[in-house]
Amino acid sequence: MDNNIPDINELIKQFSKLPGLGPKSAKRIILKLINNKENMVKPLAKSLAQVYKNVVRCSDCGNLKIIDKVCICSNDNSYDKICVVESLADMWVIESANIYKGHYHILGGTLNSSENYEQKNLLIDSLLKRIKKNNLKEVIIATSATVEGQTTAHYIEDTINNNKIKITKLAQGLPVGGEIEQLDDGTLFSAFKNRVPVSDG
Ligand SMILES: [Zn+2]
């Protein structure tokens, strides 16, 4: 589908950046869209515009929320556990594996040993605030078994520095270098079930 229409080429370029798509599959998708302009392009464009306008990241918990609505993290104080993950994708994986039902804290990335979290804009200060405000009993650190994930976990353990709270980490069953998002449900389930305390509450 080589063509001289810049708008189409731009669209192919944008779609090619999506996970799992290369230029070839991007072209296939664009072709499908163009052939279904009314039923597909119109609702897709509308949907994207709505998400762009209305959905933001909550600055307290890192989850997505509707721009002018209160996030679930601030109007539900009935929880005593929080699961700390790197990304939204990790939260979705854990949720869909039915391992843990409860509140999450989405950092928005990881640290490597040479960085401080302020540079990275990770939501660690707000994690401390949530711990205080909600009288949490357990913080489950579910970062990946990568060097960055573990550096981040250590940093959080040190920063929480509160002996009333049990801090747990996913069990050693996680393959080294394993990213949460890539794990199968079974591995994730047992890592979660067998999570180990990193400090005694
Ligand atoms: Zn929130």
The CA 181 to ligand 1 mean position distance, Å, reads 21
Rounded to the nearest angstrom, the distance between the alpha carbon of 65 and the centre of ligand 1 is 7
Using the mean position of ligand 1's atoms as its centre, give its distance from the Cα of residue 197 in Å. 26
- Determine the 3-state secondary structure of 169 from DSSP: strand
Per-residue pLDDT reduced to its tens digit, 155-193: 999 988 877 889 998 876 666 677 888 778 878 887 888
Kindly report, as residue ranges, where domains of CATH 3.40.1360.10 are found in the chain. Answer: 77-199
User: What is the Å distance from ligand 1's center to 82 Cα?
Assistant: 12
Task: State residue 167's pLDDT score.
Answer: 93
* 141 φ/ψ angles, rounded to the nearest 5 degrees: -95, 110
Q: What is the pTM of this model?
A: 0.79
Q: Cα(12) to centroid of ligand 1, in Å?
A: 34
pLDDT score at 36: 95
Provide the pLDDT for residue 199. Answer: 60
Give the mean model confidence (pLDDT) for residues 138-156: 91
Give the Å distance between the CA of 79 and the centre of ligand 1: 14
Q: Where are the alpha helices (DSSP H) in the chain?
A: 6-16, 23-35, 42-54, 72-75, 88-96, 117-120, 125-134, 147-160, 185-193
Amino acid 201: pLDDT:
43
Cα 112 from Cα 132, distance rounded (Å): 26
User: Taking 80 as the threshold, does the pLDDT of residue 152 lie above it?
Assistant: yes
- Find, among 198, 98, 105, 115, the residue nearest to 158 by Cα: 198
What is the model's pLDDT at position 119? 65
* Residue whose tokens read 């996970």: 19
pLDDT per position as a tens digit, 64-115: 999 999 998 887 777 889 999 999 999 998 988 888 888 999 999 998 877 7
What pLDDT is stored for residue 70 in this prediction? Answer: 93
CA of 132 to the centre of ligand 1 (A): 15
Q: What is residue 109's predicted lDDT score, i.e. its pLDDT? A: 92
CATH fold of 77-199 reads Dna Topoisomerase Vi A Subunit; Chain: A, domain 2 (3.40.1360)
Structure-block tokens of residue 105:
């804290």
Distance 70 CA to ligand 1 centre (A): 8
* Mean pLDDT taken over the chain: 87
- Residue 60 Cα to ligand 1 middle (Å): 5
The helix/strand/coil state of 139 is strand
Distance CA 49, CA 52 (A): 5
Q: Any residues with CB less than 8 A from the CB of 171 and at least 6 apart, and which?
A: 190, 191, 192, 193, 194, 195, 196
